[in-house]
Amino acid sequence: MSTEDTPDPREQLMALAEQFYDQFEDGDVPRMQVPTRTKTNIEYDEDKHVWVYGDRTSTRTAKTVSGAEKLLKATYTIDFLLQQIEEGRSSTLRELYYLSESWDLDEAQFGSQDESNSLIEDLEIVSGATREDFHMRPEESGATIMGPLRLREQTRRGEREIHCQKDVGEGGYQIPNNPDTIDFLDNDADFVLCVETGGMRDRLVENGFDEEYNAIVVHLKGQPARATRRITKRLHDELDLPTVVFTDGDPWSYRIYGSVAYGSIKSAHLSEYLATPEADFIGIRPQDIVEYDLPTDPLSDSDINALESELEDPRFQTDFWEEQIELQLDIEKKSEQQSLASRGLDFVTDTYLPERLDEMGVL
């Protein structure tokens, strides 16, 4: 959220610390209010099509020793984050946990990494900033991009202008941990195609699909990292490009689509930053399994359970998904993206994707 109309994360963190200071000065017991983060306080926003928190809040207060220690840890962490932002540095969640061992007060040190992770989530929610604004890096970085797009990345070593076809190897452009360091310069793209598996991503690049169809191919690498979801959202919103998601045809892959499009319960406070509700599912649909007579595997018990729980999931309560999931429960089969190779290595790029993109009105 480092666009110009959002407040400085340093001010937002400082405001939190000042709030504790004022509470002390007024003779109040210091406290911090955060939305209750249980499943019952997370709602699916039918208008925005993403997960958001409900109205219930919890209060962390210094009335108890453990509550006081929580706030102490919060102030030490705010101090560290302010210094880190000031110095233009960054760290991982795991480093923060270990780093607390160097703090002078034993009571301020974290007992487990769950505790420090959870505090950073609290600070994201209360300050309205994101982990990326605090310069906290994930352990696992984003995936890659290949397509007709020129961008400028602000690195610690200066700016880098990179064309995501002409200036990269076959591996593509590696998405940095914080994609908000990127400016999109110019592009010849007609749409964004997010792809689940590396095998299919490589197939599309080898067949020159990104060149022939002016597609920006984003490799999701299974369940996508935050950086991958963030850049997908920015590509869609800022370049005004239709965005489609191409995965295996099984319930776990539908969840990958769901996390790109609608966000996840865990990151409900970040849905507007990470989710792309306009992203459409291109396939593999259960209908494709039938129509293209694809090689299949039988559904396992856990596949069936996952499909049934998707029927109850508000994100999948559309005519499209109900029809597809019921068809899949009926045929009791699933297919992988790469099963399209049973029609030859060019079938996916010559036939399947063009047909689907045409049906969906993208081409």
Specify binding-site residues for Mg(2+). Answer: 196, 248
Token reading at 93: 């969640």
Which of 58, 90, 118, 287 touches its own copies by CB under 8 A?
90
Of residues 141-160, those binding its own copies (CB under 8 A): 141-142, 144, 153, 155-157, 160
Count of other CB atoms within 10 angstroms of residue 101: 9
Q: 88 in the Ramachandran plot: left (φ > 0), alpha (ψ -120 to 50) or beta? A: left
Residue 319 binds its own copies (CB under 8 A): no
CA distances from 202 to 5, 34, 211, 349 (A): 38, 44, 14, 12
Amino acid at 296: T
CB of 312 to its own copies, least distance (A): 32
Helices and strands (DSSP H and E) totals, the chain = 14, 17
CB of 134 to its own copies, least distance (A): 14
User: Of 21, 97, 98, 254, which one is the catalytic site residue?
Assistant: 98
Q: What does the alpha-carbon distance between residue 5 and residue 187 come to, in Å, rounded to a whole number?
A: 25
Residue 167 binds its own copies (CB under 8 A): yes
Which of 223, 295, 350, 360 touches its own copies by CB under 8 A?
295
Q: What does the alpha-carbon distance between residue 191 and residue 239 come to, in Å, rounded to a whole number?
A: 9
Active site residue 98: yes
Q: What does the alpha-carbon distance between residue 308 and residue 278 come to, in Å, rounded to a whole number?
A: 24
Q: Which residues pair with 145 in a beta bridge?
A: 173, 218
Interface segment toward its own copies; rule CB under 8 A; list 18-26, 92-100, 234-242, 319-327: 92-100
Choice between 235 and 362, CB closer to its own copies: 235
CB of 265 to its own copies, least distance (A): 25
Which of 6, 171, 318, 326 touches its own copies by CB under 8 A?
171
Q: What is the CA 325 to chain-centroid distance, rounded? A: 24
Catalytic positions: 98
Which residues are near its own copies by CB under 8 A? 89-92, 94-95, 98-99, 101-102, 137-142, 144, 153, 155-157, 160, 162, 165-177, 181, 197-199, 202-203, 206, 208, 211, 295, 336, 338-345
